[in-house]
Amino acid sequence: MVEIKTAEELNKKFLREGMWPTIFCNGCGHGVVLEYTFWALEEIGWDMDKVVFASGIGCSSRLPGYINADGLHTTHGRAIAFATGIKAADPDLNVIIFTGDGDCAGIGGNHFIHAARRNIDMTVIMINNFIYGMTGGQLAPTAPLGSIATTAPYGNVEHPFDICNLACALGANYVARWTVTHPYQPIKSIKEGLQKKGFSLLEFLAPCPTAYGRRNKLGDIKKHWAWYDNNTILKEDYEKIMKYGTEKEKEQVKDKIPLGVFQDIQKPGFFELYDDLVKRLKEKETKKGESKK
């Protein structure tokens, strides 16, 4: 096996060259998430013939089309439902979903909720840019209060929900959130999520300079990317300040977005429990048949 040492070698291995150029705008974070995923897959060493990607509709949902592996480009918000079918048909496949905040948390929210509570063995990589970037710049359910969108021209008055907290409450085995601005923690976290049996959610905060940054006056691309460093905080630091900090310190961090691993547990997934149920029923029927002899 040839050792991959550079991004150029990595991309040559994993990308479909015939799909270039990409649809992504200058400053978009989606390509960065894709490359982080490639590094994680390379370090794990999975056979890509055993990896299947699924996606719905949106900028992030175009990612599987650039990957030299099998995948499904499905309907809006339905990627997780299709992915569940893939896993049911062949449990040995490693299933990865690329989705956006609108695709996953908005129109596909119900599928997300039930896949997480069932603990279906799949990895959901949700790229959160606070907006429906491809389909018209509508407000996403994760958008901060005051955000400007085509459906909120005077500012968002809907409280955003925290999809990581939701996933933890649903009992997902692995839940983490990172920005695209630093590579090492995200790559390590993607590896952990991919190798974790059961449902894994990896949320990535990523810039959308065209649909979100422009409307919300976040400045040029460099300033927009810097916004993520200035408005996020490590989960451990956030919790420490909110518990032990002064009122001034709490006020300074209360609106920042926590980053890190929110949950890392191990409990059986849906198909493990289902197989166990079938096994027990078969044993029961066998004993029942023997008792009649």
Q: Across all residues in the chain, what is the average pLDDT?
A: 93
What average pLDDT does the segment 134-156 reach?
93
Q: Provide the pLDDT for residue 1.
A: 55
- Per-residue pLDDT, 203: 98
Q: Residue 122 CB: number of other CB atoms within 10 A?
A: 27
Q: What is the rounded average pLDDT of the residues 134-163?
A: 93
List, for residues 208-228, the tens digit of each pLDDT value: 999 999 999 998 999 999 999
Smallest Cα–Cα separation from 99: which of 204, 251, 245? 204
Question: Length of the chain, please?
Answer: 293
Can you give the three-state secondary structure of the chain, one letter per residue?
Answer: CCCCCCHHHHHHHHECHHHCCCCCCCCCCHHHHHHHHHHHHHHHCCCHHHEEEEECCCCHHHHHHHECCEEEECCCCCHHHHHHHHHHHCCCCEEEEEEEHHHHHHHCHHHHHHHHHHCCCEEEEEEECCEECCCCCEECCCCCCCCCECCECCCCCCCCCCHHHHHHHHCCCEEEEEECCCCHHHHHHHHHHHHCCCEEEEEEECCCHHHHHCCCCCCCHHHHHHHHHHCEEEHHHHHHHHHHCCHHHHHHHCCCEEEEEEEECCCCCHHHHHHHHHHHHHHHHHHHHHHCC
The CATH homologous superfamily to which domain 7-265 belongs is: Thiamin diphosphate (ThDP)-binding fold, Pyr/PP domains (3.40.50.970)
Q: Which of 175, 242, 243 is nearest to 204 (CA)?
A: 175
pLDDT at 104: 93
Q: What is the mean pLDDT of residues 277-286?
A: 90
Does residue 112 carry a pLDDT above 70?
A: yes
User: pTM of the entire structure?
Assistant: 0.94
Encode pLDDT of 166-222 as tens digits. Answer: 999 999 999 999 999 998 999 999 999 999 999 999 999 999 999 999 999 998 999
What pLDDT is attached to residue 168? Answer: 97
Delimit the domains of the chain by residue range.
Answer: 7-265
Confidence class for position 286, pLDDT limits 50, 70, 90: confident
pLDDT at 75: 92
Omega cis (within 30) before 21: yes
What is the model's pLDDT at position 22? 87
Tokens of 57: 């509709």
